[in-house]
Structure formats: structure tokens, C-alpha cells
Amino acid sequence: MSSLPAALLATAALAVPLAANPAPSAPSSPSAAHPPAHRPHRGAPERACTLPAGLKEFSGLGVSGKHPGVIYALNDSGNTHQVFAVDCSGATGQLKATFTLGGATNTDWEAMAVGPDESGRPSIHVGDIGDNLAGRAEITVYRFAEPDQLADATVQPTAFRFTYSDGKHDAESLLIDPTNRQLYVASKVMGAAGKLYKAPLPPQPGQVNSLTPVREDPVWTTDGAFSPSGRSYVLRSGGPLGPNTGYVYDAAGTKLAEVALPAQPQGETVTYADCKTLLAGSENDSQIWRVPLPPEAAPGC
């Protein structure tokens, strides 16, 4: 989501562990091991890394399946059609490569997911799925194989076109289940639950694929991701129009926990650093945070 215009504010906006630096001011953990369902779990977030310059409208986040310590990031509408590889193993992120998507357009890039393609190859999925006014006839997901080398390059992605089976929706969340390669999109709604939609398996390039609703998602959902095991997934909300909370579910959609995320302006990104830890970020803040999950939100870990 681009920096929210006043009119919208008035009406509406394969995992590798990463090194972290403690943040003394982060919220402390509560004494209860299993918080009530209505009260978000508050672990002890830590600073992972600060993004390098050039990611001023950071709206998508993924963790490399090939390169230890590397995350992938993108900017949203009005910016280049590029994906940035950032080494986040130190306090200051280092730009390692820029991948330009040949033939792609950045209408409103809002999400990213790193997961297998139909052949099982680690792939980067870019969600051109933002639609603040719910007016787009189609949305697009671009996919390209995760490069073996981190060097600037132009890649030729496969484009998958989608419509929703029940109308037009805004969305900022793209998820890939690593166990069956199922792609999901979560809609974003202010003041009411959105929906989680699934794509055909596999989606087909060269035609329009229909996204069908599966279940409800949280109010003002701004990002989501599956855990590396595929046994759970997270959907997040973020300010200023939603709580800075990660909602963790098992693969069947049963809520496991609510996890407090650091308060950031326009909290828009979340993914898994590993099966026990989330990474979270914001469009208007260059800091990436590590957020530990409570045991009940990390099945199989």
C-alpha cells in the first residue's frame, strides 16, 4: 500500500535464520505461557536489520531458500518492477543484488512469497494485487526461480492472471503452502473481516484464473506467510487502521495465537525467519524486526 492518501484514511490502506541485535525497549514477555485468545502474545522482539536506502515504500518480504541470511524485498506502486536481495545477517542490511522483472509492470506490488513452483524449485512470487479502490479487472502474480547467484540481473518471470469469484477486492497478502504449492491471497478490509482465497492448483499462465474464498481473515490484513513446515500460517494487521498483531493459524484455519508486533507506521510485511520466529516490517520504517512465537503457535518446531 502506498502512503495512505487523506481521502482513503478518511473512508477506508524455505527459511534461513537471521542474525539479530537485541532491542532493550521492545515489549517484554508476559508470565502466562498461553495467553487468552483475546490478548495478543507479547514476546520480546529484536532488531534484525535496517534496510538499505532504496526501499522507501517497502511492501513485500520473503526469506531466501538458497542464500543464508538473505531476504527479498520490493517497493509498491509508483516504483520500479524490481526485487531486491538484502543480506540481513548484520545490523545494517547490505544490498547484494537487484532483479529486474522483464515484461512486468508495477501497478501495485503489495506482497511477496518465496515457495516452490510446480516442479519444487524455490521460487519468488511477486503479488501485483493491491487495489485500494477495488476497481481492477484483474490482478497478477509474477513468478521466477530463485537465482543461484546474487548478482544484478534481468529475469523473465511467468505471469499468472487472477480474478476473484465473488467480485473485486483490495489485497496485500500472498501466501504459498510449501507442502502442496497452493497459492493464497488474503483480502484487506477496514473494520470487518476479509477473506482468504485460494488459487487453482496449479494456476495456469496465459489465461485468467479464479480465486475462490476459503475462510475469513482478520480486519485490515496487510501481509501473510506460511511457516517453513506448512503446518501453520500467519496473517498480520498493521497501523494506522488495524492492530499491530500477527494472527497465527494451523493449516486448517484454527487460530493458534495472536502475537503482538512492534508498533510501526503502516505495518505491512511479515514472513517466517524460521518455524519459531517471524520477521516484520513497515512501509514507512526501515527496521526489520524478529518476533518470537509462543510454543502453541509453532507446531512441529
Give per-residue pLDDT as tens, 42-78.
668 999 999 999 898 999 999 999 999 999 999 999 8
Q: Check residue 239 and give its pLDDT.
A: 85
Q: Check residue 80 and give its pLDDT.
A: 96
- Kind of pairing, strands 193-198 and 208-219? antiparallel
Q: Which residues of 262-283 are buried (b: 16+ CB within 10 A; e: fewer)?
A: bebebbbbbbbbbbbbbbbbbb
Q: How many angstroms separate the Cα of 286 from the Cα of each of 47, 138, 209? A: 11, 31, 35
Q: How many angstroms separate the Cα of 87 from the Cα of each of 19, 58, 84, 229? A: 10, 16, 10, 23
For the segment 86-112, what is each residue's pLDDT rounded down to a tens digit? 999 999 999 999 999 999 999 999 999
3-state helix, strand, coil in the chain (%, to 5): 5, 50, 50
Residue the block writes with cell 516490517: 281
Q: Check residue 144 and give its pLDDT.
A: 98
Non-local CB neighbours of 35 within 8 Å, separated by 6+ positions: 41, 42, 257, 258, 294
Q: What is the pTM of this model?
A: 0.87
Q: Check residue 56 and give its pLDDT.
A: 82
CB half-sphere exposure, 131, CA atoms < 13 A? 23
Omega before residue 202 within 30° of 0, cis: yes
Largest CA distance in the chain: 53
For the segment 21-41, what is each residue's pLDDT rounded down to a tens digit? 433 333 333 333 333 444 677
Low-confidence ranges of the chain (pLDDT < 50): 2-17, 19-38
Q: Check residue 261 and give its pLDDT.
A: 97
| The three grid cell numbers given for residue 252, joined into one nine-digit string | 486448517
